[in-house]
Structure 1
């Protein structure tokens, strides 16, 4: 049975979008993946989508969403280190990945963040496969 996971940030425009992309790409067999923000934002950051596409991850599904746009009950809630104060969301596991926001910086910052997120998503998938989450 797949675990329902959501990656949450303030705007759902960069880090959480990248995490959703990696989780869909690498963990579709074990994860039912969502991402959302706590504030309205017009859409994903173009540089976030570009660096994901550079890595071969299809980001055509990407859009900025709010918590109200995703399932209200989750197995796993991951905040991205953006000081998000999430309203109460029923979940079995919650963790914060403590990632700096590369927005406004050079492409290299987005690439570094992308690669860190990939490693964290791989670790998350491994923990789910082992039954730890």
Structure 2
């Protein structure tokens, strides 16, 4: 199952979503992130907060939407007031983080929301495989 986290710059919210997606992935998902107008580098404040929590952001960098797979199962909008090409995803989820200005709080919310999303998707896959037996 392919999941992409998207926002404007792919320097903070969406790339943190990608990082948490990779951290909490049990091998079920392929995790991506991208931005409609990618920044040149990671948000330094967000990077420092993640590192202070023990999460290395090495190897993570802003990417353009054209780097995403042509077909996604889930497109996660981070709540950055953007229009995403939703035609490429079976399901669109909006984390609704547009009004969260405190970066520490935003990271906490992203962590919670990513865990919840992955767990929901895992349960859904288990139900589908049970139903097909």
TM surpasses 0.5: yes
Aligned match of 1:38 in 27, 36, 39? Answer: 36
For residue 103 of structure 2, give the secondary structure of its aligned residue in structure 1.
helix
Contact 1:18/1:117 (8 A) holds in 2: yes
User: How far is the alpha carbon of 1:27 from its aligned partner?
Assistant: 1.4
TM-score (norm 2): 0.86
**Structure 1 consecutive aligned stretches of length 4 or more whose deviation exceeds 3 Å:** none
User: How far is the alpha carbon of 1:68 from its aligned partner?
Assistant: 0.4
Which runs of 5 or more structure 1 residues have no equivalent in the other structure? none
Deviations 1:80-108 (A, max 9, x none): 11111113442111011110376xx6xxx
Which residue of structure 2 aligns with residue 126 of structure 1?
Answer: 119
Structure 2: distance between partners of 1:79 and 1:117 = 11
Which residue of structure 1 aligns with residue 131 of structure 2?
Answer: none
Deviations 1:2-50 (A, max 9, x none): x110000011111001111111111142221100000132111011111
TM-score (norm 1): 0.86
Which residue of structure 1 aligns with residue 8 of structure 2?
Answer: 10
Q: CA RMSD in A?
A: 1.8
Matches within 5 A, 1:3-82: 3-82=1-80
Whichever structure has more helix as a proportion of its residues is 2
Structure 1: distance between partners of 2:88 and 2:7 = 17
Q: How many residues align?
A: 126
Contact 1:15/1:101 (8 A) holds in 2: no
Which runs of 5 or more structure 2 residues have no equivalent in the other structure? 129-133
For residue 27 of structure 1, give the secondary structure of its aligned residue in structure 2.
coil
Deviations 1:38-74 (A, max 9, x none): 0132111011111111122221121000100121110
